[in-house]
Amino acid sequence: MKKSYAVAACLLCTLTLAPAVKAADETPQFRCKPGETYYMNVMNTGVEYWFPVYEMFKQASHQLGCKTVYGGTPAYYVNQQLSSFEQVLAQKLAGIFLHPINPDPFIEPINRAAEMGIPVVTFAADSPNSKRVAYVTSDNFREGKRPWTKWARLCRGKASIPCWRIRVRITTIAA
């Protein structure tokens, strides 16, 4: 149970508290055990979107005395991410922060991690039918609504803004 709190504490610090860093003389109540390591597993590890997310994760973890590792898959392939997740499980780390490409393929590996005592927190994408200890995300609807509401007030009804809804259809063609 303590590991679950540790995982949740690290992720919450990463996503909410890291920008408001405590003074150097204040020590957080929670501290990691020496050598305790948390792993962040994402899809498309080379995408710049993840770099500041991992940086905040790393800084928050450092404040708590934890070590961190960043990894996952360099491409958008669920089997590669599953393989990297399996490799992480074999290391028996303190916890895993996971952004799963697809929810269903991760149910069994996340449940196995839970049975091993390794808490998994999903973020930005979820595997709701798994035994993950928490899911942390932002509210994309509110994030988009706020600037457009402000824009509408600034325009005072005197502007027209075109919006498009694009539907993407993906098909597989067998040779």
Is 63 within a domain? yes
Q: Is the pLDDT of residue 3 over 80?
A: no
Asked if residue 92 belongs to a domain, the reply is yes
Amino acid letter, residue 8: A
User: 139-152, pLDDT tens digit by residue?
Assistant: 777 777 787 778 77
Is 78 a member of any domain? Answer: yes
Kindly state whether residue 175 falls inside one of the protein's structural domains.
no
Is residue 172 a part of any domain in this protein?
no
Q: How many residues does the chain have?
A: 175
Q: Please give the share of the chain, as a percent, with pLDDT higher than 90.
A: 55
Note the pLDDT of residue 125. 92
Q: Poorest-confidence range of 28-32, 76-80, 108-112, 116-120?
A: 28-32
Q: What is the domain range of residue 107?
A: 2-21+32-136
Q: Which CATH number is 90's domain given?
A: 3.40.50.2300
Does residue 148 fall inside a structural domain?
Answer: no
Whether pLDDT at 172 is above 90: no
Higher pLDDT, residue 151 or 103: 103
Q: For residue range 21-67, what is the model confidence (pLDDT) as tens digits?
A: 444 456 657 788 988 999 999 999 999 989 999 999 999 999 999 99
> Quick check: is 161 in a domain?
no
Specify the number of domains making up the chain: 1
What angle separates helix 50-63 from helix 2-12, to the nearest 10 degrees?
Answer: 120
Within-domain flag for 27: no
Token pair 């070590």 in the structure block, residue: 67
